[in-house]
Amino acid sequence: MALAAYSIYGEKKIMKKLVALAVVVSFVCLALSEIAQAQTGSNMIVTNRKANKVLDAFGSTAGSNVGIYTDYGSSNQRWAIAANGSGYTLREKKANLAMDTWNWGTGNGTNIAVYTYYGNGAQTFLIQDVGSGYYRITPSISTGQCIDAYGTSSGSNVGTWSYWGGTNQQWKIASGSYEGSTDCGTGWNIGYPWGRTHNGTVYMAWCGDTMVAVQPGANGYKYNSGASYSTTKLYMWSGDASAGAEAYCSAPTATGTWPAFWITTEGAWTGEVDMAEWKGSGTVWQNTYDGSWENKLTSSNNTYYKVSMALKSTADGSNDAWVWLYINGSWTATHTGSSFRNKNFWLIRNLQMEGDSGSPGPTSASFTCRSISQW
């Protein structure tokens, strides 16, 4: 009888452990699926942490080498990353060739190239979070190694090496546009609400979180570049007299580059707020227009900016709004937007060139504006 009681008690303990293990496994699987989902997509930019240059297929035939290069927004610098069994495949957009661990090599110095897609082990990679927004890319056939940039200049080769945590072995993976891409992301449309052109010397030919300007442009314009606007408008109505928006931006500052994250009124131009714009320098312009301009200029050398704006009625029943502006979480200015209440505002991100930012502009430039929220 005592033995039977012990047996039942032991089975219960085992069952409890199995249930606990199943819960842990389910949470781990969920976490892994969330990490994976964030790093897959049809137009991905893979940027080396140390060199700040992007993964580039140096040719469009099977066997072409892979290295790093300055981002020019070309399709051989954009990758379709998709789940493949226990890992992921990376296919460059120009020729749809897969990144390949050459000759199934497993030792230090194995070359990385592109090849006809077979989805085999040599073309399957693990993508592992190493913190701070960066990832280790590991060949599935050699899990002690990783994809390693052998230099920091454009044209440097990429191959495999034992992982030791160097910044040349870590990569940022983000969605972005490339020349000809019209994939703006969910909730965004290409160009401006009124078309493909605005101030400057640019035809807005594509869109996405990363906007790339290149020469020559379409329809007689000097540049093709990227712009998109949210399909959801900002609106301050009587029941909730507040609105706002926020984004994380990495902006070019060379003469002739003019990126911006801003709102403007639907229809007639009676109101505008530039949460951040850069006019050919590191100075951040924050401006409000309601018939006349208010401006706030902040000098900064940040690589990345968190920019935000909050609109709030100046008083109950008032049609005027306070415009509170922030950079990296710190208040920078309070402007007044006359008659901003009961108006629709378009939310826009774009990379203009020249115009107010000076000329001549560079032959190419890139602007990232991502993780956008609006309310």
Tokens of 262: 């801003």
Please, what sign has the CA dihedral across residues 101, 102, 105, 109?
Answer: negative
Residue 190 tokens, joined? 């290409």
- Residue positions counted in the chain: 375
Distances (CA, A) of 77 to 62, 127, 129: 16, 18, 22
Q: Helix, strand or coil for residue 61?
A: coil
Q: Which H helix or E strand runs over 324?
A: strand 321-327
Residue from 367, 373, 178, 176 nearest 277 by CA: 367
The secondary structure element, H or E, covering residue 223 is strand 223-230
- DSSP alpha helices (H): ranges in the chain? 2-38
What does residue 151 show for φ and ψ, rounded to 5 degrees? -160, -175
266 in catalytic set: no
Catalytic member of 92, 246, 272, 354 = 272
∠ Cα 105 74 175 (to 5°): 80
Rounded distance between C-alpha atoms, residue 303 and residue 300, angstroms: 9
Examine the residue annotation and report whether 246 is marked as an active-site residue of this protein: no
246, 277, 294, 354: the catalytic one is: 277
Amino acid letter, 267 = G
Q: How many CB atoms lie within 10 A of CB 154?
A: 15
Residue found under tokens 């110095």: 109
Distance of CA 70 to the CA centre of its chain: 16
Is residue 370 helix, strand or coil?
A: strand
Active site residues: 272, 277
